[in-house]
């Protein structure tokens, strides 16, 4: 068998070295075939359009499936962004990518400085945006996934997007986070989050957590002595009320000394972002402060997981792998015809657009049967 044939037959049980060889072959083949041929699109895309598409989770998923990545593989993020980064670097398309996986992510500020010089942009603004994106997904969206991949897309006009990925070692699963040129980093800023949904996730980046964040800033400015009065309550000690406090969503693992050590000086914080950028307050301290704000000051945070499980969309027409059911060609053709008609109709019918928006909100609440999902 040739190397290509071996790679085509590659199973998940093959040695890592073999998988690396096949990944490199996929990258080389893809670059030879098209060099991410975005410039030769039927309708050439604006640089901003390229950034917007990669910042969109559905487009990104479709794009990496086209180059042969598994739908449920963490490599569909890391390999795809690496290919796009390398190809854009060689092209005359005025879009560049900074960062990547592991040590490449740590080099993002230096690469953004080079990109800013190339496009005559403000490097400090780009680096600040990059840092906030990483901080929000690591410290504010407390879903158990640690960020290990950070790719930051920038067009010549300064429009940016970001694709991050986190790993949950216990669950052995990954989750992907998408951003598109957010002006507000704290009120539901994501273009989308793709992953298996959880029952309860502390989401301090939600617009519904705004009051909670405001109380956190007030607590910090009142000083460590004030915070110290409330911390024992979070550990189940009845210091303020007759019975210990047990949070309905999470098991509390608060280390009071560590929390107090990481607090900024009193009256030093003017806005929430300073906690992340200037004082680098970590997720455990933010969680403790958020719980105090919820318990003592009656300012609850948002506990809804912002992620969307992409598998639900496979129920529309089925999958070529037979999961959750084989593709029904008749239904597929009817759906395409219906969508074409809807797109054409909504151009001149605002009422239909409002109806579809209402229908989409109802669809968001639908949950697929868990027994239908299996990795392929």
User: How confident is the model over 230-262, as pLDDT tens digits?
Assistant: 888 776 654 444 444 556 566 666 788 899 999
Contact status, residue 36 vs residue 88, Cβ threshold 8 Å? yes
Mean pLDDT value across residues 58-71: 73
Nearest to 291 by CA among 220, 187, 226, 202: 202
Mean pLDDT value across residues 176-186: 96
Q: Is 274 a residue whose pLDDT tops 90?
A: yes
- DSSP assignment letter at 46: P
**What confidence score (pLDDT) does residue 112 get?**
98
Residue that wins the pLDDT comparison between 30 and 227: 227
Mean pLDDT value across residues 196-210: 93
pLDDT band at residue 351, thresholds of 50, 70 and 90?
confident
By the 10 Å C-beta count (0-12 exposed, 13-18 middle, 19+ buried), 49 is classed as: middle
Q: Where is average pLDDT lowest: 34-43, 140-149, 153-162?
A: 34-43
**What confidence score (pLDDT) does residue 196 get?**
85
- DSSP assignment letter at 230: H
**What confidence score (pLDDT) does residue 17 get?**
46
**What confidence score (pLDDT) does residue 28 get?**
52
Measured CA angle at 163 (ends 87, 89), to 5 deg: 20
pLDDT band at residue 162, thresholds of 50, 70 and 90?
very high
**What confidence score (pLDDT) does residue 39 get?**
46
Q: Is 40 a residue whose pLDDT tops 80?
A: no
**What confidence score (pLDDT) does residue 16 get?**
45
How far is the C-alpha of 71 from the C-alpha of 20, rounded, in Å?
Answer: 18
How far is the C-alpha of 361 from the C-alpha of 339, rounded, in Å?
Answer: 18
Sheet holding 173-180, edge to edge: 95-101, 146-155, 160-168, 173-180, 190-194
Mean pLDDT of the chain: 83
Mean pLDDT value across residues 156-180: 95
pLDDT tens sequence across 102-143: 999 999 999 999 999 999 999 999 999 999 999 999 999 999
Q: Is 42 a residue whose pLDDT tops 60?
A: no
pLDDT tens sequence across 3-37: 444 444 443 444 444 445 544 544 454 444 334 44
Residue that wins the pLDDT comparison between 348 and 267: 267
Place of tokens 């072959």: 25
Domain-by-domain residue ranges, the chain? 35-195, 207-295, 318-363
Other C-beta atoms closer than 10 Å to the C-beta of 9 total: 10
Residue that wins the pLDDT comparison between 72 and 278: 278
**What confidence score (pLDDT) does residue 31 get?**
46
Mean pLDDT value across residues 158-165: 97
**What confidence score (pLDDT) does residue 8 get?**
44
**What confidence score (pLDDT) does residue 218 get?**
97
**What confidence score (pLDDT) does residue 375 get?**
64
**What confidence score (pLDDT) does residue 239 get?**
45
pLDDT band at residue 99, thresholds of 50, 70 and 90?
very high
Q: Is 45 helix (H, G, I), strand (E, B) or coil?
A: coil
Q: Where is average pLDDT lowest: 69-73, 171-175, 337-341?
A: 69-73
Mean pLDDT value across residues 163-173: 92
């Amino acid at each position: 068998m040739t190397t290509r044939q071996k790679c085509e037959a590659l199973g998940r049980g093959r040695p890592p070295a073999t998988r690396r060889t096949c990944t490199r072959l996929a990258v080389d083949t893809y670059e030879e075939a098209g060099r991410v041929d975005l410039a030769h699109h039927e309708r050439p895309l604006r640089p901003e359009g390229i950034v917007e598409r990669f910042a969109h989770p559905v487009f990104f998923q479709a794009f990496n499936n086209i180059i042969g990545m598994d739908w449920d593989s963490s490599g569909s993020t890391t390999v795809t962004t690496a290919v796009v980064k390398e190809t854009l670097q060689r092209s005359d398309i005025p879009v560049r990518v900074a960062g990547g996986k592991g040590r490449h992510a740590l080099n993002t500020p230096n690469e953004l400085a080079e990109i800013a010089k190339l496009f005559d942009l403000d490097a400090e603004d780009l680096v600040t945006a990059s840092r906030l994106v990483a901080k929000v997904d690591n410290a504010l969206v407390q879903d158990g996934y640690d960020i290990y991949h950070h790719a930051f897309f920038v067009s010549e006009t300064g429009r940016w997007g970001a694709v991050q990925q986190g790993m949950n070692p216990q669950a052995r699963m990954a989750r992907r986070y998408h951003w598109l040129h957010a002006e507000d980093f704290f009120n539901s800023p994501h273009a989308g989050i793709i992953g298996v949904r959880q029952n309860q996730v502390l989401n301090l980046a939600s617009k519904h957590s705004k009051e909670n964040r405001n109380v956190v800033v007030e607590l910090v400015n009142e000083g460590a002595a004030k915070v110290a009065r409330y911390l024992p309550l979070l550990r189940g000690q009845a210091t303020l009320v007759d019975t210990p406090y047990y949070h309905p969503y999470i098991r509390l693992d608060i280390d009071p000394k560590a929390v107090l050590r990481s607090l900024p000086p009193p009256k030093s914080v003017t806005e929430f972002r300073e906690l992340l950028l200037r004082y680098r307050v970590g997720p455990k301290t933010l969680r403790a402060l958020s719980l105090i704000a919820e318990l003592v000051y009656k300012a609850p945070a948002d506990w809804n997981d912002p992620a969307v499980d992409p598998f639900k969309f496979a129920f529309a027409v089925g999958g070529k792998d037979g999961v959750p059911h084989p593709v029904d060609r008749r239904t597929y053709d009817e759906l395409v015809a219906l969508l074409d008609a809807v797109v054409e109709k909504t151009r001149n019918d605002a009422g239909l657009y409002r109806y579809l928006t209402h229908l989409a909100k109802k669809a968001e609440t639908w949950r697929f049967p868990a027994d239908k999902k299996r990795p392929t």
